[in-house]
Chain A
């Protein structure tokens, strides 16, 4: 049971590298990363320029693109692993490690700076006790910079778990974070 999953495509057993039967075997993998990658690749690989949609798909499923997903994607698209890794590492949106339970993106672009975004960023760092690109020690919140959310007339702006918030003062940020934590706790209970 474990051998075929450890090496997704052993010759003879699962068909040609990246072929239909290899992908089909990978979709049955017990490794979530391989499975998610194979599912995404199956759905998208007939489309031109499929790599970004596949990477988005994997990240939407798993919260990140684990290194284990890369070989399966590379084989399905007939690319080298280096090429896939190169694309993953190029785009700030893609992450190779899972984020915290919440992702807080604070805009640091000019328009928000004109309305006190740096003060807000300092407050976020202080409150959360972590810097940008890091996660709080309890794994609750990952703090990310973002360069414009398109809410420039209502600066400063942040996005929490994909939901936009405008005219954010340090106090308002605290309330938004508290509410998100509360919801998470209620959901757990």
Chain B
């Protein structure tokens, strides 16, 4: 299924230097470097899904027709996804953005002299000055959209490898201490301190240890992992290598979902180049230290985003959840001590090492330190990636960045943290996004996915979908999840149908949620009640319940 994008894209996967990307379209004489204008056009799936390859071809042809020599670089996405495909032109005053560019716009862009930043309805001015981008605090995403994702030169020119180089001068204990001091917590959802996990692996003696990157980004509303893999794959390679040095692991796996064929291709190309550059292998940067890694492709099972199920899948088995203990840090992949981290956690390690723990820790609030790449999705005008420090509110994200609903109707409910996260009504949109503050309102920040719904949403239907999704994706190991999700779906059907036993069915649903919350083996069964109960408590009218919710909190306790 790894369909390669249709030809031609100007930057071939094997191009190693920027010079390879130049199209010699000029038929009159040899162009000087000053004449060659560089155009950036993303290769990210978000841009490809809006015909970026066809636009690239059109740009190339139009330049050729006009005897102009251009250099077309296929970069990662800037994360302003409503503007994709977003083309950028390098001018003396900086990079100027044009978007969203479609094939039909290309001729008029050249006509408007866009190669020198000419005026055009699609001209958005200097990219760096667009408020959506300017107001972000991009630490993990500092290079995404700026560099050619597969250029090792670009990577080095933009602070790449500084973290690894520093790590190579440190002892494993010092690296672990640095990560611990940064306050970095697992970005997959559980928010467990990364340094503590690493410490456990470091202090567990074993003949072989592993670093596993969880890139099975299955939550609806999330795409930050994908943007890194397609936009700055070297940062993940660097982060995993540092993790290997920190705990004494010499091999790593990146488990990527099969729904991301472009990400898999980009990662594989990046790994090959990193090996060639001596960033991976038996003698990293001449240090005598060893680390290598490979990509493994998932096969469409959401549950494999759960860490123990992912390890089973990597071992070649059904992705069935393991009981804990033992922790993967002690007995993980193939029974060996294993660091298994979310992709964003690992991709954040290089900046922590490069700039120091204190630099990172100074962002954020309370025990939620640093930044989180939030992903604005669903019914929003300006969906995309917003990396900011913890502590921002949902309202700021929805309106200041997201620009309100795409449909123009009022926003009604927002699901934060993926399919297992709660639905938040407007009364909760001013709670700061911080792990602890969200736990207090029975919600979760999770992987930072934010899905907005307008007032046409039927929340009883969304509650039913949560149960349906759990039933489809359950690995089947524990009863509360396997059977509970099916019964939950049936009960919600009865509630939605109304009838004389309505109240009893609502009671039964709460009882069932209580069982799933307390009795499931992993987060799938254990957290599916969050969207269900939050919908029931905050939007009772959608369930045919007249009385307003007695509590703002989705709890499993029965409400009289």
Interface stretch among A15-23, A26-34, A87-95?
A87-95
Structural contact, A150 and B300, CB atoms closer than 8 A? no
The interface bits of chain A over 43-60 (1 if a CB of B lies within 8 angstroms of the residue's CB, else 0) are 000001111110110001
Cβ of A174 under 8 Å from chain B: no
Question: Contacts A92-B301, A110-B419, A115-B379; is A153 near B2 (CB within 8 Å)?
Answer: no
Structural contact, A147 and B297, CB atoms closer than 8 A? no
Q: Complex formed: what's the CA distance from A93 to B313 in Å?
A: 13
Structural contact, B299 and A153, CB atoms closer than 8 A? no
Contact of A147 among B380, B384, B453, B469 (CB under 8 A): B469
Q: Complex formed: what's the CA distance from A149 to B49 in Å?
A: 11
The interface bits of chain A over 159-188 (1 if a CB of B lies within 8 angstroms of the residue's CB, else 0) are 101111111000000000000000000000
Cβ of A141 under 8 Å from chain B: no
Structural contact, A157 and B383, CB atoms closer than 8 A? no
Question: Contacts A114-B453, A163-B48; is A154 near B84 (CB within 8 Å)?
Answer: yes
Hey, which chain B residues are within 8 Å of A12, CB to CB?
Answer: none
Cβ of A148 under 8 Å from chain B: yes
Question: Contacts A109-B419, A110-B378; is A161 near B49 (CB within 8 Å)?
Answer: no
Structural contact, A147 and B218, CB atoms closer than 8 A? yes
Please classify how large the interface on chain B is, using the bins under 10, 10 to 19, 20 to 34, 35 or more.
35 or more
Question: Contacts A48-B334, A56-B297, A111-B451; is A154 near B46 (CB within 8 Å)?
Answer: yes
The interface bits of chain A over 110-140 (1 if a CB of B lies within 8 angstroms of the residue's CB, else 0) are 1111110000000000000000000000000
Structural contact, B318 and A111, CB atoms closer than 8 A? no
Cβ of B452 under 8 Å from chain A: yes
Closest A residue to B53 by beta carbon equals: A163
Structural contact, A114 and B451, CB atoms closer than 8 A? yes
Q: Complex formed: what's the CA distance from A53 to B294 in Å?
A: 12
Please classify how large the interface on chain A is, using the bins under 10, 10 to 19, 20 to 34, 35 or more.
35 or more
Structural contact, B223 and A151, CB atoms closer than 8 A? yes
**For residues 465 through 505 of chain B, which have their beta carbon under 8 Å from a beta carbon of chain A?**
465, 469, 472-473
Structural contact, A50 and B316, CB atoms closer than 8 A? yes
Cβ of A11 under 8 Å from chain B: no
Q: Complex formed: what's the CA distance from A6 to B551 in Å?
A: 68
Cβ of B82 under 8 Å from chain A: yes
Hey, which chain A residues are within 8 Å of B46, CB to CB?
Answer: 151, 153-154, 166
**For residues 381 through 434 of chain B, which have their beta carbon under 8 Å from a beta carbon of chain A?**
383-385, 406, 415, 419
Q: Complex formed: what's the CA distance from A157 to B317 in Å?
A: 30
Structural contact, B378 and A115, CB atoms closer than 8 A? yes
Structural contact, A147 and B220, CB atoms closer than 8 A? yes
Distance (whole angstroms) from the CB of B292 to the closest CB of chain A: 13
Interface stretch among B29-37, B151-159, B256-264, B511-519?
B256-264
Distance (whole angstroms) from the CB of A24 to the closest CB of chain B: 23
Hey, which chain A residues are within 8 Å of B383, CB to CB?
Answer: 152-155
Cβ of B1 under 8 Å from chain A: yes
Contact of B313 among A52, A110, A157 (CB under 8 A): A52
Closest B residue to A83 by beta carbon equals: B317
Q: Complex formed: what's the CA distance from A55 to B462 in Å?
A: 35
Structural contact, A111 and B220, CB atoms closer than 8 A? yes
Structural contact, B299 and A93, CB atoms closer than 8 A? yes
Distance (whole angstroms) from the CB of A15 to the closest CB of chain B: 23
Cβ of A146 under 8 Å from chain B: yes
Q: Complex formed: what's the CA distance from A166 to B419 in Å?
A: 21
The interface bits of chain B over 295-335 (1 if a CB of A lies within 8 angstroms of the residue's CB, else 0) are 01111111000000000011111111000000000000010
Hey, which chain A residues are within 8 Å of B221, CB to CB?
Answer: 109-111, 148, 152
**For residues 261 through 313 of chain B, which have their beta carbon under 8 Å from a beta carbon of chain A?**
261-262, 296-302, 313
Closest A residue to B314 by beta carbon equals: A49
Hey, which chain A residues are within 8 Å of B220, CB to CB?
Answer: 109-112, 147-148, 152
Contact of B316 among A52, A60, A162 (CB under 8 A): A52
Structural contact, B3 and A90, CB atoms closer than 8 A? no
Question: Contacts A115-B379, A147-B218; is A60 near B334 (CB within 8 Å)?
Answer: no
Structural contact, A114 and B457, CB atoms closer than 8 A? yes
Structural contact, B259 and A60, CB atoms closer than 8 A? no
Closest B residue to A114 by beta carbon equals: B378
Question: Contacts A148-B218, A154-B82; is A90 near B318 (CB within 8 Å)?
Answer: yes
Hey, which chain A residues are within 8 Å of B302, CB to CB?
Answer: 147
Cβ of B123 under 8 Å from chain A: no
Closest A residue to B77 by beta carbon equals: A153
Structural contact, B3 and A162, CB atoms closer than 8 A? yes
Cβ of B226 under 8 Å from chain A: yes
Cβ of B222 under 8 Å from chain A: yes
Contact of A114 among B84, B314, B449, B452 (CB under 8 A): B452
**For residues 185 through 227 of chain B, which have their beta carbon under 8 Å from a beta carbon of chain A?**
217-223, 225-226
Hey, which chain A residues are within 8 Å of B3, CB to CB?
Answer: 161-163
Cβ of B349 under 8 Å from chain A: no
Closest A residue to B384 by beta carbon equals: A153
Q: Complex formed: what's the CA distance from A164 to B84 in Å?
A: 13
Question: Contacts A162-B3, A166-B50; is A86 near B299 (CB within 8 Å)?
Answer: no
Structural contact, B376 and A153, CB atoms closer than 8 A? yes
24 A-B residue contacts at CB 8 Å? Answer: A49-B315, A52-B297, A60-B2, A77-B316, A90-B301, A91-B300, A94-B299, A110-B221, A110-B465, A114-B377, A114-B451, A114-B454, A114-B457, A148-B219, A150-B222, A150-B223, A150-B225, A150-B226, A152-B220, A152-B222, A152-B449, A153-B380, A153-B384, A162-B1
Inter-chain pairs besides A87-B316, A111-B378, A114-B453, 8 sampled, C-beta below 8 Å: A55-B299, A87-B318, A92-B301, A147-B472, A149-B45, A151-B45, A162-B3, A166-B49
5 smallest beta-carbon distances between A and B, as pairs: A153-B383, A51-B316, A162-B3, A109-B220, A152-B377
